[in-house]
Chain A
Amino acid sequence: MSDGLHPAVVSAQPSQRDEKNPDAPLFEGEYQDRLEKILSRYPFKRAALLPVLNMAQQVRGWISPDTIKRVAEILELSPAYVRSVASFYTMFQLRPAGKYLIQVCTGIGCDLCGAEDVVEGLLKATGTRIGETSADGKYTVVEVECLAGCGFPTMVQINDRMYENVKAEDVEGLLKELD
């Protein structure tokens, strides 16, 4: 089964979908095909680690210890090594998040232009605290470092979507748009 993706771009597929299935099989069907395409782009297996973790996260929504072991097996690495690498990068979710992972940039550019109010608004609207998933499992709000959109403050990323110029008063509308 092929997913039609060009091998050049298989290693760069955004990985935070709305639908998360923590028990989905890894590396089967179209993902088997993707795995092979990823491996074809690097001179050795270890180099495929970030793309493969990314794909695993796309499939399951987060990187569980079980996922780590599977990835280690596929790439002939030790599970500890894979855990170490995964824990280095902030985009790998080593804990399950809500359906919508809401990342608010609070870097200097956005901070100067009211990011704090946006965070506050989002926490109020979702009834959560930073990093905590709302009771209905829908939202997790986190502060992140600079999202490289300092000219369009405040930058907010929700799963695979980027929102620019978000103001505190936009928060309600933003959350409504998600459903």
Chain B
Amino acid sequence: MNDEKKLLNVTIDGVELEVPAGTTILAAAERVGAVIPRYCYHPGLSAPAVCRMCLVEVEGAPKPLASCVQPVQDDMVVHTNTAQARKARRAAVEFLLMNHPLDCPICDAAGQCELQDYAFETGQLKTRYVEPKLVMGRDKVTPEIVYFADRCILCTRCVRFMDEIAKDPVLVVINRGQRGYIDTMTGELFENPFSINIVDVCPVGALVNEDFLFKARAWDLDQTASICPGCSQGCNVSLGTKEERIVRAKPRFNPEVNSYWMCDHGRKTVINWGAGARIEVPMARDGDELKPVDWPQALDALSEAIGNEPGRARAIVSAGASNESLFTLRRLMEELGSDGGVFRVPTGPEAELPGFPKLKLRRDRVPNAKGAELLGFQRSDAVFDSAQGHRGALFVLEDTLEGAPDGFGTNAELFVYIGTRLNPAARSADIVLPSTTFAEMAGTFTNFEGRVQRFEQALRGPGLARPWWLTGSALLERLGAGGRYRTAAEVFAALASEVSEYEGLNYEVLGLKGAGAPGSSAAATAG
């Protein structure tokens, strides 16, 4: 065991460094900023060393070595970018391109394709292969993932993901040599809750998700760091957006939460979140009608209504609302005298990723149940019961009100609906305020184990929609109940000073990988 911790000296491209025994050359090289091209190597999977792309020159070694598996030895001198190493890489790219269809113009991976990148980098622009190309065609491997055999470079990342991480070895190499291709059991499609990760790990365009097929070019997408709202796991994701729409979500590495992976349910939830007709303007009741108003008018109406002392406040909130929005509502309710708030949690079957068991598609299919709880809201299976017959002020924050009973909210002195969609039950509100989704604002969610994670704004909200914490804090200022917050970070700072579980946290501490609330089970692992 002591050997493991032993430090070894290694020189990489002239830079000397010390690494622990067992470090591969590839990993050591990354520490000095030398990125060695690779195809079959993926940091989340075993390394078979088959693509022969990561070959480097080691002084004293008769042949170039595969840096992805070769452990550093003491006093090793490595050159990653000599003429020999470059020739080896250029050769590997040339071999891979022999039968490649070069259909980049219609390939989904174009722009994010490692074959393109390295072909460009190694400068082998003209092939010397003049023989006829092998044509193999395409086929589905899951109901939504298509395999283009001709683009495949047989790196086997997808095979290893299914075998080692999903522990569901349904994807394999068929045949051998150049006749090899990836397939499932004869004539069968496979289904696995984590299947789309095989599309992510594919370094080329061989595995593509039909959901994304031909929808966008990779270079047209903006990327934003975010958190998946699909369940209480809180997978770190990167949102790919184009023209104010979310086109896809891909996992963003976080060793504490989701490693390199995420589930298929999450991806779909992200894309569908906020879809459909949205509330785009504030509305205020005028007799039987809800009439569009501007924000000053809406806030005037709301502060006037509150001034009329409608009575103690109750709330139904969504566990998909950010901590900042929930905290803002809590503050407002405290002004009126809070009578408590509830939230409901849709659930579904749990699915674990066996090779990274920390990651589960969790039963609670909302991102912030824990956050809502820590802010004093009560989880309930019967959220509408508490509102039934309530005569004071009633706030609904981002709950869709689906399934609300007839006449919901009609007894309340003041019924304020803050949300994104105007379901029938919301139409009886006195004031309707359009809010934004997680993708349209910055904020934080607190995952199942109390880990607090930030998400950034990826889209503009529709019309006049604004984050509730922004409009809520403006309202509180008018009511003389506190300063106005201009950023989500400021709201969070106020939250952290008030709610003991968040003590010591701020946006800087959270960074983009989040941190456990002190004392929680995910204690302080800022990344």
Contacts and interface: CB of A to CB of B under 8 A. Distances in A.
Q: Does chain A bind chain B?
A: yes
Interface of A: 65, 68-69, 77-81, 83-84, 87-88
Contact of B175 (A65, A81, A88): A88
Interface string B174-203: 111000000111111010000000000000
B170 interface: yes
Given A78-B169, A78-B170, A83 B185 contact: yes
Contacts of A79: 185, 188
A78 B188 CA distance: 12
B186 A83 contact: yes
A80 B175 contact: no
B172 interface: yes
A80 B171 contact: yes
Q: Give the most central of B170, B174, B185, B188: most A CB within 10 Å.
A: B185
B136 interface: no
A88 B170 CA distance: 16
B173 interface: yes
Interface in B136-186: 168-176, 183-186
Contacts, number: 37
A84 B187 contact: no
Contacts of B187: 65
Contacts of B168: 78
B183 A80 contact: yes
Q: Give the most central of A68, A78, A80, A88: most B CB within 10 Å.
A: A80
- The interface residues of chain A, by DSSP majority, are classed as helix
Given A68-B185, A79-B185, 13 more contacts: A65-B187, A68-B186, A69-B185, A78-B169, A80-B169, A80-B170, A80-B190, A83-B174, A83-B183, A83-B185, A84-B172, A84-B173, A88-B175
Given A65-B187, A68-B185, A81 B174 contact: no
A79 B169 CA distance: 9
Interface in B80-132: none
Contacts of A65: 185-187
A78 B168 CA distance: 8
- Smallest CB-CB A-B distances: 6 pairs: A84-B172, A79-B185, A65-B186, A80-B185, A78-B169, A80-B172
- The interface residues of chain B, by DSSP majority, are classed as loop
Contacts of B186: 65, 68, 83
A81 B169 contact: yes
Interface residues of B, number: 16
Nearest to A69: B185
A96 to B, nearest CB: 14
B176 A88 contact: yes
Contacts of B174: 83-84, 87
A162 to B, nearest CB: 24
A69 B170 CA distance: 12
Interface string B440-480: 00000000000000000000000000000000000000000
Q: Give the most central of B174, B184, B186, B187: most A CB within 10 Å.
A: B186
Contacts of B190: 80
Contacts of A80: 169-172, 183-185, 188, 190
Nearest to B171: A80
A85 B404 CA distance: 56
A83 B159 CA distance: 14
A77 B163 CA distance: 11
A8 B183 CA distance: 35
A48 B185 CA distance: 20
Interface string B199-239: 00000000000000000000000000000000000000000
Interface string B40-84: 000000000000000000000000000000000000000000000
A77 B173 CA distance: 15
Nearest to B168: A78
A78 B162 CA distance: 12
A87 B190 CA distance: 19
Nearest to A82: B185
A16 B461 CA distance: 70
Nearest to B177: A88
Nearest to B173: A84
B157 to A, nearest CB: 16
26 contacts: A65-B185, A65-B186, A68-B185, A68-B186, A77-B169, A78-B169, A79-B188, A80-B169, A80-B170, A80-B183, A80-B184, A80-B185, A80-B188, A80-B190, A81-B172, A83-B172, A83-B183, A83-B185, A83-B186, A84-B172, A84-B173, A87-B174, A87-B175, A87-B176, A88-B175, A88-B176
Contacts of A69: 185
Contacts of B172: 80-81, 83-84
A83 B175 CA distance: 9
A78 B176 contact: no
A77 B184 CA distance: 13
Contacts of B171: 80
A83 B183 CA distance: 10
A137 to B, nearest CB: 23
Q: Give the most central of B168, B169, B171, B172: most A CB within 10 Å.
A: B172
A88 B172 CA distance: 11
A83 B186 CA distance: 8
A89 to B, nearest CB: 9
A68 B169 CA distance: 15
Nearest to A65: B186
Contacts of A81: 169, 172
